[in-house]
Structure 1
Amino acid sequence: MPSGHDLKGLIRFLEREEWRECFEEVFDCHLGPVLDAGDIEFDDLAETLGEDWAMTLWGCAFEDFLTQEFDVPGGNVVDAYLKRRGWNERVQTKAYMKALRTSVMSLYEVSDVVPGKSLMARDLVRGGEPVAVSEGTATRTLKQWDRIAARIVPVAGKNILAGGLLPFTPQATDALLDGLRQIFGKKGARKLPTVADHELQAVAFMFTLAWLSDTLQRTAGLPSLQNSDGDDLMFHDVMFPLAKGVTQKDVAARVNAIPAMARENAKFWNWLEDSPGEKENDKPAALRFDTIMDSGQRVLGNVELKGRFLHLSTNSSARADKGGMLLSQALGDRVGAPLTEIRTPEQMIADQRRHGPGDADADIPPEIARQVAHQFLDRQYRETLDQPVPMLGGRTPRQAVQSAAGRQKVVEWLKYLENQSAKHPDPADPVATYSFEWMWNELGVHNLRR
């Protein structure tokens, strides 16, 4: 719970039998369906998600419970508690309890985050202009365009966040909004109608269920990272030792003769697909990673001469096998049996964090490295403006902005790009510092960036 808003006395009040039974009903609405579907207990969530998240979920149910009326003496637990014990509470704490009493859980889009101080929150369910929120803890981790389920409550002339805050992924957001449309919208409606506060209060459990279901699914089986062949990412470094008496020049001549090898310099080649768009795989759960050349051809791997070894670097087992066979046939007895080092994406990230970015380019000034990286990203994203984007229904961004509905999708896409960039683990990395503002201007939607 927020600092200075101690609810321990109110929580102890739950020990009274009439309130304990009422709380159990609310708690079951928030967590019961998912726990039953997974055949797990609440205590298991602490092991799966961590103690902090388990307590946050409990807090979501508790804050919902504080807003409800029950057929018991006192009717509402906050009213009953303040009547009996309010004299023993600080003025600020009583104000916070009263604010929670009438609070509403909703889904908000975060912007203009000032770490340790404040943020702007736009209600994605009820609409309206973004509101300023004073917040010291969550703002240290929240990023531009993050989405959160939360209760914004007014206390002492400021808007603050209650304790039950849940970060929503795009998948959880879609699931929640679809569920709300089914309840409040007309059959087959694509747009969520106006929802009154009392209506939203009645379905607060849906926010918890949507978050918990999405989180448990991702915990049980995270979406795989794949290349565009549909192969799971697994980084292979296949090292061919040069045979005795064989020179780098001999090997380079053989590699140059392979049609699929595009030479970058005397010791480095890009291994390219045979033709642009040679193979596509559309598994929806995967996040795709590949490099595209100016010709439109995908880079399947890289080949490099390093000392007495020829290295093939690629991002899947299938490509390692195919590329290894290609090089073995071309080089014959000029190289020995290859050695292979395999690393998962997680291991690659760990290595980068351990050794620090740019070890190999330590002599390059950071500002130059950043400029080069940003120029590369400029080129990549400028090409993307004329390429089909799945989030835009297969249309290019330039095509999508031609309609009102398309412009809204483009805005969501741009926010997604910015949000993912802002979440880079290294805030000094060129990806994290990249500005997408030119894309908003280029597509004519900068006025919708709010």
Structure 2
Amino acid sequence: MKPSNDLSGLIKYLSRAEWHDRLEDVMGDHFAPIMTAFDIEYEEIGEILGEHWDRTLWGCAFEDFLTQSFDPDGINIVDDYIKRRGWNEKVQSKAYMKALSTSVMSLYEASEIVPGQSMTLRDMVRGGEPLLVHEHSATQSLKKWDRIAARVVPMNGKHILAGGVLPFTLEGTTLFQKGFDDLYRQSRDEGIHADRDVLLADAASLFTNVWLFDTLPKAMGLIAPMVYNSDGDELVFHSVRFPLATGVTQKAIGAQLDTVKALHRESATFWNWLGTKPTKRKDKKADGVAFNSTMEDGTPILGNIELKGRFVTLTVNSAERAKAGTPLFTKALGNLVRAPLTEIQTIDQMRADHEGNDAPRSVVPPEIATKLVHEMLDKSYRETLDQPVGMLGDITPRAASKSANGRVKLVEWLKYIENRSAQQPDDTDPMATYDYSWLWRELGVENERR
């Protein structure tokens, strides 16, 4: 028995020449800009992204096609098909086709997700009250505050999703919103006071274009976001191993390291190499991600010194720090050590090594590990409340909560960190089970957590 949302008969109807040619024009709107920008053929998009996304992207373009009317008499394929072939379709199937033909794709934020059953979607373009959407497949993988481009279709007193659903990253969301705002301003400038429903109907291909411009380069390996430390140096891990000279003891090495003012002893065999506490943030890069490690008072940790067996090892996260630290500790240790050996590993190499090995099993009981991680996150976020945050315009979360515009950015930031924390393969991971509700209450925006 055919499901109520079966479109197979309508798809076969595309073989008629007048509809096949019109579909090709709509497909061009969705894919031609990408094909031109990356110098690839349509078939290559599916080869790069995989069969699932090939079907999904085609479905997005096809659903857009179902909503369009064509000259000379404003004919629509759904109306034409039902008129000529409707006798062969169930009432429910025809109702679904008609609902699709008047639908618009929009950008939604998901919350209150019940896997396999339903979720609440907030329209990020048109606003309005959130919608309860009944859905089986997407709710299995979506996390709270995920963004999706989709068509919400009313059926039998409920709301369901059409087949073309695209997940949007934060970057993709920002890119789409900018593109849509430009279209809105352009329509106003031209004296066309179109509402957002009309503009969304005209901008369906923008969702596909933006999603592909955000996703395809990553899949092709063309974009790898740079990761920097607090000095602004690219993250490349260096391990500088100093062999102990003959007859030198660990005790002698430890005593000598204690004389280095830049070192802070953490244990009998471990020291932090500290920099000077910055007076101005230096960790921002427009094209990258910051990776910092600091002491409780904000003093940056430049690297670590560890004494193990017959080696003293300096570990740092950039070539620049290795270049500064190697002569510093060579001089400090003098004839207690021999010439050092350096090993270098990039983030990609570390990731490849990690993916090639089974994850080590923790010897810490899960309930203890969860408690420790949650306490660490409590402490970290408590400190963050009084530190400048890039997404908030380099002001503190507490300061952002004092203004209307700041609270808008604050809610976006809170949703972002909560969503990132939820993106764990294991739902029982301590990061995934952390409760962020106290942060919302602390900042006075708990009513926006919906």
- Tell me the TM-score normalised to structure 1 length: 0.91
Work out whether residues 228 and 283 of structure 2, in 8 Å CA contact, stay in contact via their aligned partners in 1. no
Given candidates 317, 334, 341, the residue that maps to 2:319 is: 317
Work out whether residues 153 and 160 of structure 1, in 8 Å CA contact, stay in contact via their aligned partners in 2. yes
Given candidates 209, 214, 233, the residue that maps to 2:235 is: 233
| Superposed CA offset, 1:148-192 (max 9, x none) | 110011223321111111111112111211122122237999xxx
Distance 1:14 1:142, change over 3 A: same
| Superposed CA offset, 1:364-399 (max 9, x none) | 322222222222211111111111111111111111
Identity %: 54
State how far apart, in whole Å, the 2-side matches of 1:125 and 1:357 are: 44
Corresponding residue for residue 124 of structure 1: 124
Work out whether residues 18 and 72 of structure 1, in 8 Å CA contact, stay in contact via their aligned partners in 2. no
Q: CA deviation at 1:234?
A: 2.6
Corresponding residue for residue 100 of structure 2: 100
Bigger drift between 344-353 and 198-207 goes to: 344-353
Corresponding residue for residue 416 of structure 2: 416
Q: CA deviation at 1:82?
A: 1.9
Corresponding residue for residue 397 of structure 1: 397
Q: CA RMSD in A?
A: 2.5
Corresponding residue for residue 34 of structure 2: 34
Structure 2: gaps (5+ residues): none
Q: CA deviation at 1:33?
A: 1.7
The SS at the match of 2:421 is: helix
Q: CA deviation at 1:404?
A: 1.0
The SS at the match of 1:291 is: coil
Distance 1:236 1:390, change over 3 A: same
The SS at the match of 2:120 is: strand
Corresponding residue for residue 159 of structure 1: 159
State how far apart, in whole Å, the 1-side matches of 2:354 and 2:128 are: 43
Amino acid at match of 1:236: H
Amino acid at match of 2:308: K
State how far apart, in whole Å, the 2-side matches of 1:38 and 1:396 are: 40
| Superposed CA offset, 1:197-252 (max 9, x none) | 23321111111111111223444212222222222323333332222211111111
The SS at the match of 1:185 is: helix
Corresponding residue for residue 75 of structure 1: 75
Work out whether residues 275 and 301 of structure 2, in 8 Å CA contact, stay in contact via their aligned partners in 1. yes
Amino acid at match of 1:126: R
Bigger drift between 367-376 and 138-147 goes to: 367-376
Distance 1:342 1:94, change over 3 A: farther
Q: CA deviation at 1:131?
A: 0.7
Corresponding residue for residue 345 of structure 1: 347
2:268 matched to 1:254? no
Distance 1:279 1:129, change over 3 A: closer
Amino acid at match of 1:267: T
Corresponding residue for residue 203 of structure 1: 203
Corresponding residue for residue 436 of structure 1: 436
The SS at the match of 2:425 is: coil
Amino acid at match of 1:77: I
State how far apart, in whole Å, the 2-side matches of 1:72 and 1:336 are: 86
Matches within 5 A, 1:292-307: 292-307=294-309
State how far apart, in whole Å, the 1-side matches of 2:395 and 2:280 are: 20
State how far apart, in whole Å, the 2-side matches of 1:124 and 1:195 are: 15
Distance 1:186 1:40, change over 3 A: closer
Q: CA deviation at 1:443?
A: 0.4
Corresponding residue for residue 51 of structure 1: 51
2:374 matched to 1:374? yes
Q: CA deviation at 1:415?
A: 0.4
Q: CA deviation at 1:69?
A: 0.6
The SS at the match of 2:297 is: coil
Amino acid at match of 2:400: A
Bigger drift between 177-186 and 197-206 goes to: 177-186
Bigger drift between 227-236 and 35-44 goes to: 227-236
State how far apart, in whole Å, the 1-side matches of 2:281 and 2:115 are: 44
The SS at the match of 1:412 is: helix
Work out whether residues 4 and 90 of structure 2, in 8 Å CA contact, stay in contact via their aligned partners in 1. no
State how far apart, in whole Å, the 1-side matches of 2:360 and 2:115 are: 25
Amino acid at match of 1:356: A
Distance 1:285 1:180, change over 3 A: same
State how far apart, in whole Å, the 1-side matches of 2:325 and 2:194 are: 57
Given candidates 327, 330, 337, the residue that maps to 2:329 is: 327
State how far apart, in whole Å, the 1-side matches of 2:443 and 2:118 are: 30
State how far apart, in whole Å, the 2-side matches of 1:426 and 1:287 are: 25
Amino acid at match of 1:296: G
- Tell me the TM-score normalised to structure 2 length: 0.91
State how far apart, in whole Å, the 2-side matches of 1:370 and 1:352 are: 22
State how far apart, in whole Å, the 2-side matches of 1:357 and 1:404 are: 46
Bigger drift between 106-115 and 238-247 goes to: 238-247
Distance 1:72 1:6, change over 3 A: farther
Q: CA deviation at 1:73?
A: 7.4
Distance 1:358 1:109, change over 3 A: same
Matches within 5 A, 1:128-277: 128-185=128-185, 195-219=195-219, 220-277=222-279
Corresponding residue for residue 407 of structure 1: 407
Work out whether residues 106 and 200 of structure 2, in 8 Å CA contact, stay in contact via their aligned partners in 1. yes
Work out whether residues 153 and 162 of structure 1, in 8 Å CA contact, stay in contact via their aligned partners in 2. yes
Amino acid at match of 1:179: G
2:359 matched to 1:356? yes
The SS at the match of 2:56 is: helix
Work out whether residues 66 and 77 of structure 1, in 8 Å CA contact, stay in contact via their aligned partners in 2. yes
